Amino acid sequence: MTVITVNDTLSADRALRLIDHGSTLVWDGDFQNAKQLLAALGRRVPAAEGGSFQEQRRRQARRAQVLNSLLIATHDHTIRLRRAPDVRQACLEAYGPPGGERLIPLRELLGVIGAHQLRLEGIEVPALGARIHPHYGVFAPTRSEYVELVGDRPLPRATVAFDIGTGTGVLAAVLARRGIRRVVATDNSTRAVECARENLRRLGLDASVEVVETDLFPPGLADLVVCNPPWIPARPITPLDHAVYDEDGRMLRGFLGQARDHLNPGGEVWLVLSDLAEHLGLRSRADLLDGFRYAGLRVADRSDVVPRHRRAREKEVTSLWRLCPFGSAAFVERA
Ligand SMILES: C[S@@+](CC[C@H](N)C(=O)[O-])C[C@H]1O[C@@H](n2cnc3c(N)ncnc32)[C@H](O)[C@@H]1O
């Protein structure tokens, strides 16, 4: 790999040629011009839709490789370039305390700045009547319709609930606000656990919701177990993909496999799942239903919602599956 220092005189076509020949570019010009160069590079390697999932991923990987080759130097979280923004707080939140010089892909840095903004402003969650403040690298509940599903489906008689893979803590907060006396929320990401604790404190719910860093389940039993797992069963490309990509469906299988053993008699499992994986040919509906059966769970009810977010494919549906153990209360199967 060759590292080249470049500036405002570099054209996007030349930059792309250099990158394609294995160079990494360190920017030494005007910060705003670097953003323009990045945008121009992005137009040359578009994130085109269409084709098979594998083709889309190949294009995504190529795009990421090109766009991540334009680097910005930071010194103790400060950028020493003309017209550069103050990124000290944003970098502190994403990378921890400052520690000398660091080369950061501009694309990542813009994500860090955006995440800082989102954390400051928060996201209005109608089901809570409050804002949730996501941290960098934590799944943000911008698709609020799935939160509404958890907010308005009839609750079973529940004193204790688990929220597995809590992210910002949004679903745990909804459950606590709905009157469940004790909620235990888990996540295996340290960033998510810190973020959830902060949100729950801010909402005044930290006495009723405990947040635990662990793989899947905490010890003990619950009357209601809720989970909104990463919904695409494929290998994450970046560390930030872990909230969306679940390699080999590991989390979903682990969750289903253990859910029944964590339920009190009469308890329910609420699984929130988009069917995007089915549209991409990565999992069939029959596989999912087999997974429920294999886990000793049957479908009591299913509520569907069409995501309203900008990039939702027309056909994508997110469902709240209410599952209960075989042999428990008489539910009608209507999947
Ligand atoms: C799609 S996000 C959902 C976040 C949140 N529940 C929500 O609805 O906004 C999935 C979450 O599961 C977490 N996760 C993934 N694998 C996990 C595991 N094995 N154990 C616990 N949490 C996990 C991720 O860190 C991420 O926060």
pLDDT greater than 90 at residue 314? no
- The answer to whether the Cα torsion of 142, 139, 118, 194 is positive or negative is positive
* Least confident window among 1-5, 282-286, 308-312: 308-312
* Per-residue confidence (pLDDT) for residue 309, from 0 to 100: 62
Q: Model confidence over 102-133: pLDDT tens digits? A: 999 999 999 999 999 999 999 999 999 999 99
- The answer to whether the Cα torsion of 200, 175, 271, 217 is positive or negative is positive
311 band by pLDDT with thresholds 50, 70 and 90:
low
Choose among 200, 203, 208: nearest CA to 158.
208
Nearest CA to ligand 1 atom 23: 165
Write down the pTM of the prediction: 0.93
pLDDT greater than 80 at residue 85? yes
* Per-residue confidence (pLDDT) for residue 310, from 0 to 100: 53
Give the C-alpha separation, 148 to 126, whole Å.
Answer: 8
First-to-last alpha carbon distance for the chain, in angstroms, is 53
The pLDDT of 165-185, averaged and rounded, is: 98
The four Cα atoms 197, 200, 206, 209 give a dihedral, to 10 degrees, of: -90
Neighbours of 296 (CB within 10 A): 16
Atom of ligand 1 nearest to the CA of 147: 8
218 band by pLDDT with thresholds 50, 70 and 90:
very high
pLDDT greater than 50 at residue 73? yes
Could you tell me whether strands 222-227 and 160-164 are parallel, antiparallel, or unpaired per DSSP bridges?
parallel
* Per-residue confidence (pLDDT) for residue 53, from 0 to 100: 83
Nearest CA to ligand 1 atom 13: 165
* Per-residue confidence (pLDDT) for residue 313, from 0 to 100: 53
Nearest CA to ligand 1 atom 26: 243
The pair phi, psi for residue 276, each rounded to 5°, is -55, -40
333 band by pLDDT with thresholds 50, 70 and 90:
very low
* Per-residue confidence (pLDDT) for residue 39, from 0 to 100: 98
Q: How far is the CA of 189 from the centre of ligand 1 (A)?
A: 8
Nearest CA to ligand 1 atom 1: 230
Pocket of ligand 1 (CB under 6 A): 139, 141, 165-168, 170-171, 186-189, 192, 215-216, 228-230, 242-243, 251
Q: How far is the CA of 188 from the centre of ligand 1 (A)?
A: 7
Give the C-alpha separation, 106 to 110, whole Å.
Answer: 6
